[in-house]
Amino acid sequence: MTRGVTHRNVSSHSLRQWSLRPATIVAWCALLTTAATTGAQQQEQCGDRAMLHVRVADESGTVLLPGAIVVVRWTDLVERPVRDAAGADGHYSLCVSENVEGATLWAEFGDDSSRQAVATFEPGVTREVVLRILTEGVRSGRLMGQVLDVLTEAPVVTAAVSIRGRPAVIDTNQQGRFVLTGVPPGEHVLEVRRIGYSPLRHSVTVGQGLTTDVEIGLVPAPVEMEPIVATATRVRRLEITGFYERKHWGELTGLGHFITADEIDRWRPSSIAGFVSMMVPGMSGLSNRRMSVGFSLQPCPMKQYLDGVLLRGGGIDQFVKPFEVVGIEVYKGPASLPAEFTGSDARCGAVVVWTR
């Protein structure tokens, strides 16, 4: 069991450690009783489906953290990932879709996060996971990516991915994707093997608290050519705020437009409103030309967010300059809005700007 991620299991050893603190034991037992009752009630709502029940706590596991963000990435990557806030009691529950067998999940609280946990599901069974926020800072990084056939660009399934010198070996899924967690910061040798392909060894650099994306092109064994590897390090701030998760699914479903720091640096725009209008079809400044207000043909003003905070007075260009921006999200209608940017006044869509 990795530090920072644990499943609910109060052992006799744990109780002996707390023998000098009876008040803590009473409070802890009351918490478990309440959680069990709540879990049973919610399991009835899920019926024959599995239920995931998450508790987010501090690093010691004794203090619950209300409002912490829980992220659930389904193993098969067919279902859209979940990114939602825990309740006022630090608990979060959801019914798992049918045919989903597992998930990788973690929690975020401010600039801190927990280790990743892997959960498997059975119909009608509640899976309980405790995620502990590492408040002393993230000491390791993540390595995630996709393995493709360099000739056909088709995903390579069940390729063995590992870091030389470390015991963990991950097999790629049906989309050729993999995630290696708890990787120490520094330079490592990534090894990828699959029968029918030439083995690959490639140096990668993993940053502390950062995710490094890797796209790997394996070469079929009879073909004489060099493998292809492309890497990119994600911006930590955007990683925490869920920008990359929304970008992945928004581009996959066509429900959002995303502008990165590289595009902003390349074009060097003089204003954010003008740049968004240039990059996103159907925009007039930060208004949606395809929507209308009442029966008029006036452009529909979109909601504007700066670092996740809704601006209620003035435009985005009054608060931030383009060179200060690291990412922009554009959603052109209420149907495409993620849950954190919805509301009664969101019919025109939203523009979300993130600073460096």
**pLDDT for 212:** 87
CATH class of 238-355: mainly beta
End-to-end Cα spacing for the chain? 35
DSSP at 56: E
**pLDDT for 36:** 46
Segments making up each domain of the chain, as ranges:
5-132, 141-234, 238-355
CATH number of the 141-234 domain: 2.60.40.1120
**pLDDT for 104:** 84
Kindly report the number of other CB atoms within 10 A of residue 135's CB atom.
Answer: 13
How far is 58 from 65, CA to CA, in rounded Å? 7
Residue 232, classified by CB atoms within 10 Å of its CB into exposed (0-12), middle (13-18) or buried (19+), is exposed
| Tokens matching residue 67 | 């409002």
Q: Are 181 and 163 in contact (CB under 8 A)?
A: no
CATH number of the 5-132 domain: 2.60.40.1120
Can you spell out the DSSP letters for 222-256?
A: TS-S--EEEEEEPPHHHHHHTHHHHHHHHHHHT--
| Tokens matching residue 332 | 């052109």
Tell me whether domains 141-234 and 238-355 share a fold: no
User: CB neighbours of 20 closer than 8 A, spacing ≥ 6?
Assistant: none
pLDDT tens by residue, the chain, 356 residues: 333 333 333 333 332 333 334 443 333 344 444 444 444 555 568 888 999 999 999 888 888 888 889 988 887 655 678 888 999 899 999 999 888 888 888 888 876 788 888 899 999 999 999 999 876 555 678 888 899 999 999 999 999 999 998 888 889 988 898 888 888 889 999 999 998 899 999 999 988 777 888 999 999 987 667 777 777 777 777 888 889 888 888 888 888 999 988 888 888 889 999 999 889 888 878 887 665 545 456 778 889 998 888 888 778 998 889 988 999 999 988 888 988 888 777 888 999 999 88
User: CB neighbours of 210 closer than 8 A, spacing ≥ 6?
Assistant: 141, 142, 233, 234, 236, 239
Strand order through the sheet with 160-163 = 169-171, 160-163, 186-193, 200-206
**pLDDT for 283:** 82
**pLDDT for 27:** 39
| Residue whose token pair is 């390729």 | 159
For the chain, how many helices (H) and strands (E)?
6, 25
**pLDDT for 339:** 84
User: CB neighbours of 248 closer than 8 A, spacing ≥ 6?
Assistant: none
